[in-house]
């Protein structure tokens, strides 16, 4: 049997400790599959006493990550510290030292991935990042390897568990966004500063990585359209349910005839679709490709051991490919470097979707006709409509309109004109609608 792969682990938080424990528990099964062991021989963390209380005596614990990078016997460095600054320094130094890297840091890869992958190629190193998207769900491997014979038409995913938990509470309990966020923080599903989650940035990091792998393009994070969930109201959750829909925050990557869509925003989805029924902190990703059709991948998108599962899967892949010529390894972004294409990333104004409109109007004759005539003027047809009972006190009512497909820029013009009607009393609420049937 080959000697164990020697691993240095930087960061011993939830995922780091989960990786150590899972690897220790399943070491025998891993050796049976791999033909060699995986040994975490060094851990770097500022809280060295906490780490020492967990790891075995044959594991060296240090506070300085550079001590791991400088050790000649370390084959692979696992980076689990997060962020952009120090994490980039650690990963870069490790690759320059000829060490393979495994990371769960989607923010780092979405912003500096191309630099990191070029550095890896220059030094004949591998970068494993399965755990950076959807936690333990092996979606990177599915898109990069399992569907390599397919042309991928679109990917749509619930890839942030925090926002999915919040939206589930708003739907099931009619809570406000603020109430649901507070509960998420109480249960540890949301950070004290939840901005990256609730504003859609975390999902955009992950969606950008999936888009790059699916279409062989540079990582398009800076060109992605990103909209979070902070403006959603529980009222819209209930009205959508009356119409047979759920509202979810989706990351969408789609190939069109004029370019690639990369967008994150709330969507109405038919309650009959599988992804609409993904609840709580769970993640799910749907992929539609020409040969397989539509497939869905569901599971835990975060947590110590689920994420550790993906980290260790990357370690196993690296151990298997370590002796393979670098030119014959699976490319980081699925496509050979010379075939990466700079395709157009569509501005949101050019994206075509259906829409949900909630319009608060004065309860008087002719209001509906004036709104539908504006939609008709812009070539937007109505799919379904719901009118709420009038409020006798305020003499106003609500119109809920589902439209057929329209270009975003055209819909924006129509909404602007509707908003100017004297009978429209409040800002028009618009949520995009997607049909994945």
Cα separations (Å) of 171 from 10, 131, 167, 216?
39, 29, 6, 37
| Mean pLDDT of successive 10-residue stretches along the chain, which has 437 residues | 92 96 96 95 97 96 97 97 94 98 98 97 97 96 97 98 97 96 95 96 98 98 98 96 97 97 98 96 97 97 94 97 90 95 96 97 93 97 90 86 98 98 96 90
Take residue 12 and report the two structure tokens written for it.
């011993």
The position carrying tokens 């009959």 is 272
What's the confidence (pLDDT) of residue 105?
A: 97
Cα separations (Å) of 305 from 13, 18, 95, 300?
12, 5, 26, 10
Residue 253 forms beta bridges with which residues?
Answer: 155, 262
Pair 296, 285: CB distance under 8 Å: yes
What's the confidence (pLDDT) of residue 7?
A: 98
What's the confidence (pLDDT) of residue 1?
A: 67
Cα separations (Å) of 221 from 202, 344, 418?
11, 13, 33
Non-local CB neighbours of 327 within 8 Å, separated by 6+ positions = none
What's the confidence (pLDDT) of residue 353?
A: 97
What's the confidence (pLDDT) of residue 389?
A: 83
* Nearest alpha carbon to residue 230 among 166, 157, 161: 166
Instruction: Encode the chain in three state secondary structure.
Output: CCCCEEEEEECCCHHHHHHHHHHHHCHHHHHHHHCCCEEEEEEECCCHHHHHCCCCCCCEEECCHHHHHCCCCCCEEEECCCCCHHHHHHHHHHHHCCCEEEECCHHHHHHHHHHHHHHHHHCCCCEECHHHCCCCCCHHHHHHHHCCCCCEEEEEEECCHHHHHHHHHHHHHCCCHHHHHHHHHHCCCCCCCCHHHHCCHHHHHHHHHHHHHHHCCCCCHHHCEECCCCCCCHHHHHHHHHCCEEEEEEEEEEEECCEEEEEEEEEEEECCCHHHHCCCCEEEEEEEECCCEEEEEEEECCCHHHHHHHHHHHHHHHHHHCCCCHHHCCCCCCCCHHHCCCCCECCHHHCEEEEEEEEEEECCCCHHHHHHHHHHHCCCCEEEEEECCCECCCCEEEEEEEECCEEHHHHHHHHHHHHCCCCECCCCEEEEECCCC
Cα separations (Å) of 331 from 93, 126, 161, 338?
21, 9, 29, 11
Pair 201, 111: CB distance under 8 Å: no
pTM over 0.75: yes
Take residue 91 and report the two structure tokens written for it.
């990963």
Query: What residues are annotated to the active site?
Result: 206
Structural domains of the chain in order of their starting residue, each with its CATH number: 5-128 (3.40.50.720), 139-299 (3.30.360.10), 352-433 (3.30.70.260)
What's the confidence (pLDDT) of residue 391?
A: 74
Q: How many Cα neighbours within 13 Å face the side chain of 109?
A: 31
Measured CA to CA, the distance from residue 179 to residue 169 in angstroms comes to 9
What's the confidence (pLDDT) of residue 390?
A: 73
């Amino acid at each position: 049997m080959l000697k164990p792969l020697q691993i240095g682990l930087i960061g011993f938080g939830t995922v780091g400790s989960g990786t150590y424990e899972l690897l220790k528990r399943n070491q025998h099964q891993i050796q049976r599959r791999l033909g060699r062991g995986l040994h975490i021989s060094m851990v770097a963390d500022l809280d060295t006493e906490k780490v020492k209380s967990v790891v075995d005596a044959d594991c060296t614990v240090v506070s300085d990550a550079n001590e791991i990078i400088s050790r000649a016997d370390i084959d692979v460095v696992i980076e689990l510290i997060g962020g952009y600054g120090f994490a980039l320094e650690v990963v870069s130094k490790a690759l320059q030292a000829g060490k393979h890297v495994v990371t769960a840091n989607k923010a780092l890869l979405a912003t500096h991935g191309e630099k990191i992958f070029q550095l890896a190629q220059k030094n004949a190193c591998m970068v494993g990042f399965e755990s950076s998207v959807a936690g333990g769900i092996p979606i990177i491997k599915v898109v990069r390897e399992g569907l390599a014979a397919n042309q991928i038409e679109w990917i749509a995913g619930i890839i942030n568990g925090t926002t999915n938990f919040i939206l589930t509470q708003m739907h099931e309990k009619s809570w406000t966004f603020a109430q649901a966020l507070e509960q998420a923080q109480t249960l540890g599903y949301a950070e004290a500063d939840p901005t990256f989650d609730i504003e859609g940035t975390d999902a955009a990091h992950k969606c950008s990585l999936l888009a790059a792998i699916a279409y062989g393009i540079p990582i398009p994070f800076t060109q992605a359209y990103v909209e979070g969930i902070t403006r959603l109201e529980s009222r819209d959750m209930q009205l959508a349910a009356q119409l047979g829909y759920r509202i979810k925050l989706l990351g969408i990557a789609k190939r069109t005839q004029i370019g690639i869509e990369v967008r994150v925003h709330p969507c109405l989805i038919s309650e009959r679709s599988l992804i609409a029924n993904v609840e709580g902190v769970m993640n799910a990703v749907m992929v539609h490709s020409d040969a397989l059709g539509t497939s869905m991948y569901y599971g835990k998108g975060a947590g110590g051991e689920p994420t550790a599962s993906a980290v260790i899967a990357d370690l196993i892949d690296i151990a298997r490919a370590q002796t393979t010529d670098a030119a014959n390894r699976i490319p980081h972004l699925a496509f050979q470097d010379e075939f990466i294409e700079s395709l157009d990333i569509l501005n949101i104004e050019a994206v075509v979707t259906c829409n949900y409109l909630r319009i608060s109007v004065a309860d008087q004759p002719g209001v509906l006709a004036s709104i539908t005539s504006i939609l008709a003027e812009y070539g937007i047809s109505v799919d379904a409509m719901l009118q709420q009972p009038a409020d006798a006190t305020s003499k106003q009512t609500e119109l809920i309109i589902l439209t057929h497909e329209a270009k975003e820029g055209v819909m924006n013009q129509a909404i602007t004109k509707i908003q100017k009607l004297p009978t429209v009393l409040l800002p028009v609420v618009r949520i995009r609608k997607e049909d994945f049937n």
